[in-house]
Amino acid sequence: MSYLEYAVKTVPTGWRKILYLNWPLILLIMAVASTGFLMLYSVAGGSFSPWVEPQLKRFVMGLVLMLFVAMVPIWFWRNISVVAYLGTLVLLILVEIMGSVGMGAQRWIDLGFMRLQPSELMKITLVMLLAAYYDWLPLPRTSRPIWVAIPVLIILIPTALVLRQPDLGTSILLLAGGGMVMFMAGVHWAYFAAVIGMGVGLVTAVFQSRGTEWQLLKDYQYRRIDTFLDPASDPLGAGYHITQSKIALGSGGWTGRGFMQGTQSRLNFLPEKHTDFIFTTLAEEFGFVGAFSLLSLYALIVVFCIASALMNRDRFSSLLTLGIAATFFLFFAVNMSMVMGLAPVVGVPLPLVSYGGSAMLVLMVAFGLVQSAHVHRAR
């Protein structure tokens, strides 16, 4: 489908596009990001440095980027999706080869002004390519094995590369995000049933391989699983993160201990309090009310994205929007499950709230795509 097929006359042009943006979505994003600034201010002990200031700058940059992406017609993005995917894949291989070593994992390329994590970028470009693929694929072929194998490869190649870094959190997000796009594109139930069955088999294999020479996961990953299964067993060692974050959450109560009054985070009992575990600070200081509000904001963002996708008759736009909504959902669902002791600590940040450059910018670009699809939809 080319841009000619879009109902150009009904699509707003020029500065008028701004009026047709999905404004409720933008307001929701800003609300969530503001919560993030507030929490970063609190965990820094009431200071704009070292976290709020750079995060604010990046968010403003992200907003500009989002508007820019939103202004560009959606068919342009569809047309470059193959190139974008391949480019990201090259970057992923590049970090594998020459990326700097940090935290025991090779994850970024130093661009001078920022550190780019290709794995973050891959979350969007993968969804873009899958959406474009199903837009191109004639509907009857959707469930044919050969046409199912191609997107599976498209998903598995970057997933494997990210897993090698090793970054378990992102690979789970890529795998599940890609899978959800395939599901929404209408791939037959049986495939998913088979994959889930295989997944169960794989989990069994992972556990069976433990301690043998062909061990599938790193020791620290096994320990994290152990900790997940029984965090109380080693509260000062392996289970420290989960135990402390549950204490922080629990001590929040109904309305929390008050802004900047959370002892758990202020006294450093919480690990990674400005990144992956920032939710615990929110829950400690603003209690159930605060934590549930943030969860609701996230849910609303997802709902608005799905609504936008359903309004859109264009297959690429719909799938892209849904894929981004799914990825976004996975972000916060995995992170919250993790800090609430429902999932292993896999290192997934809280979207738009956790401190971190790549994730923030990539998410803003993703919402830019959602906006572009929204603005340029056929009316």
283: contact with other proteins by CB under 8 A: yes
Piece in contact with other proteins (CB under 8 A), picked from 136-144, 153-161, 198-206, 346-354: 136-144
| End-to-end C-alpha distance for the chain, whole angstroms | 17
Give the nearest distance from C-beta 191 to other proteins in angstroms. Answer: 13
336: contact with other proteins by CB under 8 A: yes
Of the candidates 284, 290, 260, 324, the residue with the CA atom closest to the CA atom of residue 31: 290
- Using CA atoms, how far apart are residues 309 and 321, in angstroms rounded to an integer? 6
Give the nearest distance from C-beta 104 to other proteins in angstroms. Answer: 22
The two tokens of residue 166 are 């090793």
**Sheet with 115-116: strands ordered across:** 100-102, 105-110, 115-116
The residue among 52 and 185 lying less far from other proteins, judged by its C-beta, is 185
Q: Which one among 27, 64, 310, 379 touches other proteins, defined by CB under 8 A?
A: 310
Instruction: Render 181-208 in DSSP notation, one character per residue.
Output: HHHHHT--HHHHHHHHHHHHHHHHHHHH
Helices (H), 99-218: 118-136, 145-164, 168-185, 189-209
292: contact with other proteins by CB under 8 A: yes
Give the nearest distance from C-beta 325 to other proteins in angstroms. Answer: 8
The two tokens of residue 91 are 């970057």
The continuous run of DSSP H or E covering 284 comes out as helix 278-311
261: contact with other proteins by CB under 8 A: no
The continuous run of DSSP H or E covering 112 comes out as none
Of the candidates 76, 64, 75, the residue with the CA atom closest to the CA atom of residue 18: 64
Q: Which one among 118, 151, 252, 357 touches other proteins, defined by CB under 8 A?
A: 252
5: contact with other proteins by CB under 8 A: yes
Q: How many CB atoms lie within 10 A of CB 91?
A: 21
Residue whose pair of structure tokens reads 């799914």 in the numeric block: 326
The two tokens of residue 99 are 């990326």
184: contact with other proteins by CB under 8 A: yes
288: contact with other proteins by CB under 8 A: yes
Tell me which DSSP letter residue 349 carries.
Answer: P
Instruction: Render 53-91 in DSSP notation, one character per residue.
Output: HHHHHHHHHHHHHHHHHHHS-HHHHHHHHHHHHHHHHHH
44: contact with other proteins by CB under 8 A: no
194: contact with other proteins by CB under 8 A: no
Q: Which one among 35, 42, 55, 318 touches other proteins, defined by CB under 8 A?
A: 318
Question: Can you state the angle between helices 278-311 and 240-252, rounded to 10 degrees?
Answer: 80
Give the nearest distance from C-beta 288 to other proteins in angstroms. Answer: 4
207: contact with other proteins by CB under 8 A: no
346: contact with other proteins by CB under 8 A: no
192: contact with other proteins by CB under 8 A: no
46: contact with other proteins by CB under 8 A: no
The residue among 183 and 191 lying less far from other proteins, judged by its C-beta, is 183
108: contact with other proteins by CB under 8 A: no
Q: Which one among 8, 250, 261, 379 touches other proteins, defined by CB under 8 A?
A: 250
Distances (CA, A) of 19 to 15, 23, 309, 376: 8, 8, 18, 12
244: contact with other proteins by CB under 8 A: yes
Length of the chain: 379
127: contact with other proteins by CB under 8 A: no
Give the nearest distance from C-beta 286 to other proteins in angstroms. Answer: 10
The residue among 64 and 196 lying less far from other proteins, judged by its C-beta, is 196
The residue among 325 and 346 lying less far from other proteins, judged by its C-beta, is 325
The two tokens of residue 143 are 């469930």
Give the nearest distance from C-beta 249 to other proteins in angstroms. Answer: 5
263: contact with other proteins by CB under 8 A: yes
Of the candidates 177, 132, 163, 170, the residue with the CA atom closest to the CA atom of residue 150: 132
The residue among 108 and 277 lying less far from other proteins, judged by its C-beta, is 277
Residues forming contacts to other proteins in the complex (CB under 8 A) are 1, 5, 136, 138-139, 180, 183-186, 244, 246-254, 263-264, 267-269, 283-284, 287-288, 291-292, 295, 298-299, 302-303, 306, 309-310, 313, 315, 318-319, 322, 325-326, 329, 333, 336-337, 340, 342
